[in-house]
Amino acid sequence: MRFVQNFPFFSIILSMFAGIVSSVLPPRAAKWVNTVLIVTVGVMSAALLTFLSGTGEPFVYRMGHFPAPWGNEIRAGVLEAGMALFFCIIMLLSMAGGRKKLIGEVEYSKHSLYYIMVDLLLSSLLALVYTNDLFTAYVFVEINTISACGLIMIRQNGRTIEAAVRYMIMSLLGSGLFLMGLCTLYDLTGHLLMSNIRESVEQIMEQGVYTVPLAITIGLISAGLAIKSALYPFHTWLPDAYGYSTVSSAAMLSSLVSKGYIFLLIKIIYRVIGFEAFAQSKIIDVLFVFGVLGMIFGSVSAIRENDIRRMIAFSSVAQIGYIYMGMGLGTQIGMTASVFHILSHAATKSLLFIAAIGLTDVSRGSRRFIDLTGAGYRHKMAGAAFTVGALSMVGIPMFSGFVSKLLFAEASVGHFYKMLPAVIALAVSTILNAIYFMKTAIRIYVPERRMGREVITAGQEPVYAAVLVCFILLNIALGMLSQPIVEWIGTGLSMFG
């Protein structure tokens, strides 16, 4: 076994220990531990990615060297390593971009707690990405929920506590369903490791027994994870949670937490149930319908919103709808489009949240549209970044959003009877996206007559400006280098099999 194969385990355990150690550190030290941790994990994931691209074979890491049906396992393929790297990049940029605001948003004495939550969030995300054991996945789903709840409620006002309660309730409903599905699956197959369950499920399918319990199991697991990742109509907690928490939390919640659950669901589809079995079940039609509804109604809610951060939050509902719509098509290319959209949405949505905070800063902290008039001139960097994010969300070529929309359209055209609803929903949703994002982009570039407003240049906030530049470059890279990325996703998905 090569040393690099230890890296998935190292990154999970390192982030966990960083969280534990941070509890006794002063805020400054906790901040450095957090930054060093994210960079280290990112570097390790990159090394793992190059190693795996070289060998072209996924590997299984046995925890404590117990053989297959009993021991706990970690499994890493190209897609997992790449996802871990991507999550680290987004997390690092989100933390750096929101750091200056954090001082005003959270009491200084509580900063250590904030970094603990971020460390734990990273560890649970990595575990969700790498684990090969369903019950471990459940435990880390709960850790993810708890740390996300901490990230929401660390900013102390009535709104965030209420949002945290709503988030917890919805999440617990989701994880209850997921746990029940997991237990019935264990009851049917007698295994907890994904590869063993897969074999048993194949046998069950061949013999043609237990069809109803298996369908119920697939339904419970999909519904649980869909509720947790805020698929329409389970999104009621989302606007408050994203709109009123600290800016780094909002960026990470929208781009990482919900994506972790979706990635787990994709993994379960491929590695536990089997893609063919999933595509034949009726569950994908349900996911498809809710995805399409989410694409439309999320955008409609966003148009009606008068608060820039809540508008971006509602836009997330629509984008989650896109991802589930792609999964609901039940084809390989649809799945590829969904995975690409996970990346594209994560890069764009965190950019939008971080850029929006710069715009509100130069508008006396107000988030209403009328006060944002001309904000693009007062904070040029944030204005440019917001425009890039908006263009990407609408789907202008060169940016990442265009490629994912193209992939979704391509995937839906190949489908027999879902083609029409999918293409219509894509078109309608794109127009609605354009309405609210272009409305905002035009609003921030309308010259304002009143003088004497605060002006912030890039030189005054070098870190913030650098973060925005990185986000813009990431977005353009996703948009321009789409071919190798799509190929990488394809290889990764085939490694799942």
| Chain residues in the site for other proteins (CB under 8 A) | 135, 138-139, 142, 145-146, 149, 153, 157-159, 161-162, 164-166, 168-169, 172-173, 176-177, 179-180, 183, 186-187, 192, 244
Closer to other proteins at the Cβ: 104 or 414? 104
Those residues with Cβ within 8 angstroms of residue 405's Cβ, 6 or more apart along the chain or in another chain: 395, 426, 430
**Sheet strands (E) in 57-189:** 59-63, 72-76
Which of these, 429, 231, 227, 400, lies nearest to 324 by C-alpha position?
231
- Distance between CA atoms of 239 and 165, rounded to whole angstroms? 13
Smallest separation, CB 312 to other proteins (Å): 18
Closer to other proteins at the Cβ: 209 or 481? 209
CA 252 to each of CA 168, 255, 391, 409: distance values in angstroms, whole numbers, following the listed order: 17, 5, 21, 28
Closer to other proteins at the Cβ: 222 or 387? 222
Please name the residue that has the structure tokens 């074999």: 199
Smallest separation, CB 310 to other proteins (Å): 12
Closer to other proteins at the Cβ: 100 or 159? 159
Closer to other proteins at the Cβ: 157 or 280? 157
Smallest separation, CB 158 to other proteins (Å): 6
Which of these, 297, 320, 140, 319, lies nearest to 227 by C-alpha position?
320
Smallest separation, CB 186 to other proteins (Å): 8
Closer to other proteins at the Cβ: 177 or 467? 177
Assign 205 to helix, strand or coil.
Answer: helix
- Distance between CA atoms of 337 and 485, rounded to whole angstroms? 11
What's 207's DSSP letter? H
Smallest separation, CB 12 to other proteins (Å): 17
Smallest separation, CB 234 to other proteins (Å): 11
Closer to other proteins at the Cβ: 23 or 53? 23
Smallest separation, CB 369 to other proteins (Å): 16
Which of these, 427, 408, 283, lies nearest to 334 by C-alpha position?
408
Instruction: At 482, give phi and psi (nearest 5°).
Output: -65, -35
